[in-house]
Amino acid sequence: MQITDVETIRFETERQPKTTDRKGHAHPGEGPPERTEQTITRIVTDDGPDGYTLGGDEDSNRWMADYLEGMDPLARETIWKDIATHRRISYRRGPIATIDHALWDLAGRHAGLPVYKLLGGARERIPCYASTMCGDDDPEGLGTPEAYADFAESLVEAGYPAVKLHTWMPPYDEDPERVIAACRAVREAVGPEIDLMLDSHHFYTRLEAKQIGEALADLEYTWFEEPLNEQSIAAYEWLTREVDVPVLGPETVRGNMQARAEWIRNGAMDICRTSCNNGGGITGALKTVHLCEAFEMTCEAHGGGAPNLHVMGAMSIPGRYCERGLLHPDYEYDWTPPHLDAPIDELNDDGTVTVPQRVGLGERYNWDYIDDNRLS
Amino acid sequence: MQITDVETIRFETERQPKTTDRKGHAHPGEGPPERTEQTITRIVTDDGPDGYTLGGDEDSNRWMADYLEGMDPLARETIWKDIATHRRISYRRGPIATIDHALWDLAGRHAGLPVYKLLGGARERIPCYASTMCGDDDPEGLGTPEAYADFAESLVEAGYPAVKLHTWMPPYDEDPERVIAACRAVREAVGPEIDLMLDSHHFYTRLEAKQIGEALADLEYTWFEEPLNEQSIAAYEWLTREVDVPVLGPETVRGNMQARAEWIRNGAMDICRTSCNNGGGITGALKTVHLCEAFEMTCEAHGGGAPNLHVMGAMSIPGRYCERGLLHPDYEYDWTPPHLDAPIDELNDDGTVTVPQRVGLGERYNWDYIDDNRLS
């Protein structure tokens, strides 16, 4: 079995409208679903199944096709190492994750198994937290502590066992007192049984972060995520020592399992963070998960998507939650885009998401729709 | 697919005669092949393939059958964690490796793939070192530095690109000067191009180990293995700082990837050591391999066997060598026991061993012979 091509299937589809503020954070847009472009990357083989994953761009895939042509699609470690090092691609996003995800999908189809069972299944359902969008200035949206409290209450009513707040970040006022007020309002609204987390502005000073962290400890939050610039391991080491709420990270720092190894060695967090998209695909995320197990540390996956669910389904020390969102009172998250027959992360009645049980990554593509809307 | 039983196939077979000295080390015996007992552990499923591995004992397997009955044989992480923790079994040997190996064999058979391709293939052939038995008092065996030199020369002529010496250990005289003389005689006999390693008496004092290590650095040895009691991380940290030859370990210390994490964090070795048999099976060894990758450290596998070969075939940072032995001038290692159609580690002309390419672990059992010689 050899790789013969890496194809980019580009098509038009629809999405719920979103806007982006001038600092890059998403907020709900207005009106009906809007047209958007989407891609699927397809690794083509001569006499095996093909492998598919959402995303990927034509330039990268054309370049990867040149490199991968003639290779064994099951030689994932060779391919991963080569993309990660010899070609000096950052682990963060980019072709390494796209290609790795498509190769795992292919391996699953070849074996007739969902990916998490190839990895060594540990669980079928992952408890799930509702992850809010960042704050805004709309009192009916996420503009006040009370608005967060009302929204959190509705999320708990909808069945979520946990809620993570993204509070205000510039251009909205990120004042620590106001962030703490929102965290307190939410705790009071949902009561003591619901797990709560905070993912706040990522560029607080040490003392601001400590002020927020101490409040979160009092409010019995489950974790405190990325309040400081992740370029400073020393700042996270300090914060982890200073506050009682568990500090979680790193998320956006460059470097995959090697960066996490340095954070662990320096005691810079209580809970580790990885993700397939930013952490070198399933292969890279799994290496981080195994690193964490060697240090008896929990590892939580950042963001959604099928690859993360499969990794979470194969953790020996289970991450506590998968992330579902981003959510907002005015944004319809539970909506299936027309290129899929079903979303990958439907919420079960017990507040969990099921690890995809179909072969490979288990995405449910609507190929009729995709073919009718092909751009290339 | 559910596990219905864990069966112990016990049978008589033949082996090359060996003796054991009063400190527990093996030496060649005399005469023709002798009868011995051997087991194969078989995990039985209701409607999938079964999984097989060499070894396992009836008591443990009967006990594991009670626990595993009704479980999904692909839920390796669940099973691994449960054996490793809830039942408080030491990672060292025992049921965790036997069961894990049989589960990987089963997964490979289910997927129609060799295990190393399930793991993410990285290479098909592993360079191989000849690993000698411990020293003795036979001048025609391994009784003198000259005897080691002669034997090493014959091993290089036989095609090995590297040789590892196990030198004298009690009850034979482990004097460092004599060990160094053997190491020097071997280097002089094989010339500068052959990689050489030393695995010596494991209970030298720090200063004895340093004396030997400095000599090995001068003789350009590739690694220095387990010269000190592995219960002292501090001693290994000291030795790694003091000598220029790369220090390799740990091998026999209790604790799997967690122990290795502590060694790495303390700078207690230059090269890490794991094995499937002692390191919690393929699942445990892979976690150690990934730990090492996060610290950019090479990991070498201890001992032979199909599981180690599959792990070595899936390393992103490749271990340099697989181990073939133990060898001695008077011991016929290249001999196929009658319960196998072929040994797992035949030496290729290029000094490598091929990672098994058949489905699962790829052992070539002679079922006719086994059935004819069943004891249970």
CA atoms within 13 A on the CB side of A332: 12
Q: What percent of chain A has pLDDT over 90?
A: 90
Spatial separation of the C-alpha atoms in residues B332 and B115, rounded to whole Å: 29
Q: Are B161 and B190 a contacting pair, CB within 8 Å?
A: no
Amino acid identity of residue B343, one-letter, is: P
> Where on the phi/psi map is residue A40: left (φ > 0), alpha (ψ -120 to 50), or beta?
beta
Task: Grade residue B147 by pLDDT with cuts at 50, 70 and 90.
Answer: very high
State which H helix or E strand residue B14 sits in: strand B3-15
Q: Does A106 touch chain B (CB under 8 A)?
A: no
Q: Poorest-confidence range of A213-227, B247-261, B328-342?
A: B247-261
Cα B17 to its chain centre, rounded Å, is 20
Residue of B290, B298, B299 to mutate, interface with A, max A Cβ within 10 Å: B290
Please tell me if residue A283 touches chain B, with a CB cutoff of 8 Å.
yes
CA pair distance B95, B100, nearest whole angstrom: 8
Is the CB of residue B280 less than 8 Å from the CB of residue B84?
yes
Give me the residue from A78, A287, A315 closest to B122, CB to CB.
A78
Q: With bands split at pLDDT 50, 70 and 90, how would you rate the model's confidence at B93? A: low
**A290 and B257 in contact by Cβ < 8 A?**
yes
Q: In this predicted model, what pLDDT tens digit does every residue of A76-129 receive, in sequence order?
A: 999 999 888 755 554 445 789 999 999 999 999 999 999 999 999 999 999 999
Which pLDDT does position B118 carry in this prediction? Answer: 97
Say if the Cβ atoms of A113 and B113 lie within 8 Å: no
The pLDDT tens digits for A326-347 are 999 999 999 999 999 999 999 9
The domain at A3-113+367-372 falls in which architecture?
Answer: 2-Layer Sandwich (3.30)
**Does the beta-carbon distance from A294 to B260 stay under 8 Å?**
yes
pLDDT higher than threshold 60 for residue A36: yes
CA-to-CA distance for B351 and B291, rounded, in angstroms?
29
Average pLDDT of B76-92?
74
Q: Is the peptide bond before B28 cis (omega within 30 degrees of 0)?
A: no
> pLDDT value at position B23?
85
Interface confidence (ipTM) of the complex: 0.86
Residues of chain A with C-beta less than 8 angstroms from the C-beta of B293: 257, 287
Interface test with A, best of B79, B117, B123, B289 (most A CBs within 10 A): B117
Question: What is residue B80's predicted lDDT score, i.e. its pLDDT?
Answer: 93
Average pLDDT, stretch A199-208?
Answer: 95
A251-255, B16-20, B54-58, B208-212, range with the lowest pLDDT:
A251-255
User: Which of B72, B78, B314 has the CB atom closest to A77's CB atom?
Assistant: B314
| Shortest CA distance from B80: residue in chain A | A316
Q: Which residues contact A341 (CB under 8 A, 6 or more apart)?
A: A364, A365, A366
Rounded CA-CA distance A196/A220 in Å is: 8
What does the angle CA B247 – CA B253 – CA B257 come to, to the nearest 5 degrees? 85
Tokens representing residue B100 in the block: 């894990």
Question: Is the per-residue pLDDT at B343 higher than 60?
Answer: yes
Name the residue among A81, A48, A75 with its Cα closest to residue B120.
A75
State the CATH architecture for B3-112+367-372: 2-Layer Sandwich (3.30)
Minimum-distance CB partner of A294 among B117, B122, B291: B291
For residue A314, the distance in angstroms to the closest alpha carbon of chain B comes to: 6
Q: Indicate if the pLDDT at residue B134 is higher than 50.
A: yes
Q: What is the pLDDT of residues A163-182, one digit of tens each?
A: 999 999 999 999 999 999 99
Contact B81, A290 (CB under 8 A): no
Q: What is the pLDDT of residue A376?
A: 78
Is B120 in contact with A258 (Cβ distance < 8 A)? no
Please give the average per-residue pLDDT across B195-202, as a whole number: 96
- Token pair 């400073």 is found at A232
Residues B113, A112: C-beta atoms closer than 8 Å? no
Peptide bond into B307 cis (omega under 30): no
Name beta bridge partners: A114: A360
In chain A, where are the structural domains located? 3-113+367-372, 118-354
> Does pLDDT of A250 surpass 50?
yes
Q: Are the Cβ atoms of A121 and B260 closer than 8 angstroms?
A: no
Scanning every residue of chain A, which has its alpha carbon at the shortest distance from the alpha carbon of B76?
A120
Taking residues A29-42, report their average pLDDT.
96
User: Could you give the CA distance from residue A189 to residue A156 in angstroms, rounded to a whole number?
Assistant: 10
Cβ-based burial of B66 (10 A; exposed 0-12, middle 13-18, buried ≥19) = exposed
Hey, what's the torsion of the CAs at B243, B246, B247, B248, to 10 degrees? 180
Whether pLDDT at B145 is above 60: yes
Query: Which residue in B78, B258, B286 is closest to A122 by CB distance?
Result: B78
What count of CB pairs under 8 Å joins A to B? 109
A112 to chain B, closest Cα gap in Å: 7
**CB-based contact, B112 to chain A, within 8 Å:** yes
Provide the CATH number for the domain formed by A118-354 in this structure: 3.20.20.120
Using the structure block, give the residue that is written with the tokens 């079994």.
Answer: B89
How far apart (Å, rounded) are the C-alpha atoms in residues A199 and A202? 8
Q: Are A74 and B117 an interchain contact pair (Cβ–Cβ within 8 Å)?
A: yes
User: Does the distance separating the beta carbons of A286 and B121 come in below 8 Å?
Assistant: no
Structure token digits, residue A211: 């002020």
Greater confidence (B87 vs B32) lies with B32
| Interface contact flag, A291 B288, Cβ < 8 Å | no
Mean pLDDT of B117-143: 97
Chain A residue closest in CA terms to B283: A120
**Where do we find the tokens 């390419």?**
B357
Tell whether the torsion through CA atoms of B141, B145, B150 and B154 is positive or negative: positive
Pairing of strands A223-225, A195-199: parallel
- Which residues of chain A does B317 touch, with a Cβ-Cβ cutoff of 8 Å? 81
What pLDDT shows up at residue B255?
Answer: 80
Mean pLDDT of B131-147: 97
State mean pLDDT over A239-261. 94
* Contact yes or no for A257 and B293 at CB 8 A: yes
Beta bridge partners of A13: A36
Of A77, A112, A291, the CB nearest to B121: A77
Distance from CA of A63 to the nearest CA of B (A): 21
pTM confidence score:
0.92
Separation CA A199–CA A189 (nearest Å): 19
| Average pLDDT, rounded, for chain B | 95
Q: Assess whether pLDDT exceeds 80 at residue A20.
A: yes
Closest-CA residue of A relative to B311 is A77
Query: A236, B286, B291: which is closest to B301 by C-alpha?
Result: B286
Q: Please, what is the average pLDDT of chain A?
A: 95
B274 in contact with A, Cβ within 8 Å: no
- The minimum CA-CA distance between A147 and chain B, rounded to whole Å, is 41
Residues of A in contact with B111 (CB under 8 A): 110-113, 118
Length of chain B: 376
Q: What is the pLDDT of residue B87?
A: 58
pLDDT band per the 50, 70, 90 thresholds, residue B254: confident
Candidates B197, B203, B261; CA nearest to B231 is B203
pLDDT of residue B88: 54
Inform me whether the C-beta atom of residue A99 falls under 8 Å from chain B C-beta atoms. Answer: no
Option in B81, B118, B121 nearest A75 (CB):
B121
